């Protein structure tokens, strides 16, 4: 029995607890493949339309072909479209509204391991661990929720421990932490 305890403690790697607050107040949503953008060209309804961002990160609209959209915010994309349309119409005024948010792959939250429905989620500002767990339907019966970790890609793949079981099963809100763009939540399987 003592040998089993020693082996388990040797295998367990401890990580520092995740900080409760992780959101960047300067966060600005950037467009990614799979997003839909609604382009409104003032006084030119024939040029206004909703288009998807293709897997290669580009969009195509009337008079504007293969314009890169990925990694830009809505305002930057609107100015780029205005530059392209200025070749054909005088002083275009463009507004871009992002709908159907997916975001770039580098900002999506990934949930792997013993989640009821492991998946990729679009990042939302102020998103918390509880929000993520609700979106993936909780944990499986084999999950070791209190040994879960967050791999924070924004900090050079630094790992933090999180207590999902305490949060979800026991309602301990002190275990709730904010997520950051690109976080990977890893829920291991329980040994017992």
Task: Look at residues 100, 124, 143 and tell me which one is the last residue of a structural domain.
Answer: 100
Token duo for residue 68: 């890169």
Same domain, 173 and 124: yes
pLDDT score for 26: 78
Tell me the C-alpha distance between 25 and 18, whole Å: 18
Task: Look at residues 53, 80, 100 and tell me which one is the last residue of a structural domain.
Answer: 100
pLDDT score for 15: 87
Same domain, 96 and 115: no
Token duo for residue 107: 């900002």
Per-residue pLDDT tens digits for 53-90: 999 999 999 999 999 999 999 999 999 999 999 999 99
The reported pTM is 0.82
User: Where are the alpha helices (H) located in 52-112, listed in sequence order?
Assistant: 74-85
Express as a percent the part of the chain with pLDDT over 90. 83
Same domain, 68 and 94: yes
Same domain, 95 and 144: no
Same domain, 115 and 96: no
Same domain, 133 and 152: yes
Domain containing residue 126:
108-187
pLDDT score for 174: 94
Q: Tell whether 12 is covered by a domain.
A: no
User: Where are the alpha helices (H) located in the chain, listed in sequence order?
Assistant: 2-11, 74-85, 129-135, 164-168
CB 148 within 8 A of CB 142: no
78 backbone dihedrals φ, ψ, rounded to 5°: -60, -45
CA 22 to each of CA 129, 166, 168: distance values in angstroms, whole numbers, following the listed order: 11, 20, 20
Same domain, 130 and 86: no
Q: Tell whether 13 is covered by a domain.
A: no
Which residues of the chain register pLDDT less than 50? 1-11
Per-residue pLDDT tens digits for 117-129: 999 999 999 999 9
Q: Tell whether 24 is covered by a domain.
A: no
CATH of the domain at 122: 3.10.560.10
CATH of the domain at 83: 3.30.1950.10
Same domain, 86 and 146: no
Token duo for residue 33: 């493949």
Same domain, 178 and 112: yes
pLDDT score for 87: 96
DSSP 18: P
Same domain, 87 and 113: no
Total number of domains in the chain: 2
Task: Look at residues 100, 128, 150 and tell me which one is the last residue of a structural domain.
Answer: 100
> Counting Cβ atoms within 10 Å, is residue 31 exposed (0-12), middle (13-18) or buried (19+)?
buried
Q: Tell whether 2 is covered by a domain.
A: no
Q: Tell whether 5 is covered by a domain.
A: no
């Amino acid at each position: 029995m003592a040998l089993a305890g020693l082996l388990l403690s040797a295998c367990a790697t401890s990580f520092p607890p995740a900080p409760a607050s992780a959101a960047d107040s300067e966060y600005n949503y950037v467009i990614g493949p799979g997003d839909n953008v609604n382009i409104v060209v003032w006084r030119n309804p024939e040029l206004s339309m909703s288009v998807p961002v293709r897997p290669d990160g580009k969009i195509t609209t009337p008079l504007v072909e293969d314009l890169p959209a990925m990694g830009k915010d809505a305002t930057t994309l609107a100015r780029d479209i205005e530059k392209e349309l200025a070749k054909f119409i005088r002083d275009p005024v463009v507004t871009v509204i992002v709908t159907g948010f997916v975001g770039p792959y580098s900002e999506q939250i990934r949930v792997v391991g013993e989640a009821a429905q492991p998946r990729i989620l679009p990042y939302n500002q102020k998103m918390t661990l509880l929000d993520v767990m609700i979106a993936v339907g909780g944990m499986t019966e084999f999950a070791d929720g209190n040994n879960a970790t967050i791999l924070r890609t924004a900090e050079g793949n630094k790992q933090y421990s999180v207590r999902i079981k305490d949060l979800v099963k026991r309602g301990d809100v002190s275990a709730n932490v904010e997520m950051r763009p690109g976080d990977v939540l890893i829920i291991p399987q329980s040994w017992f």
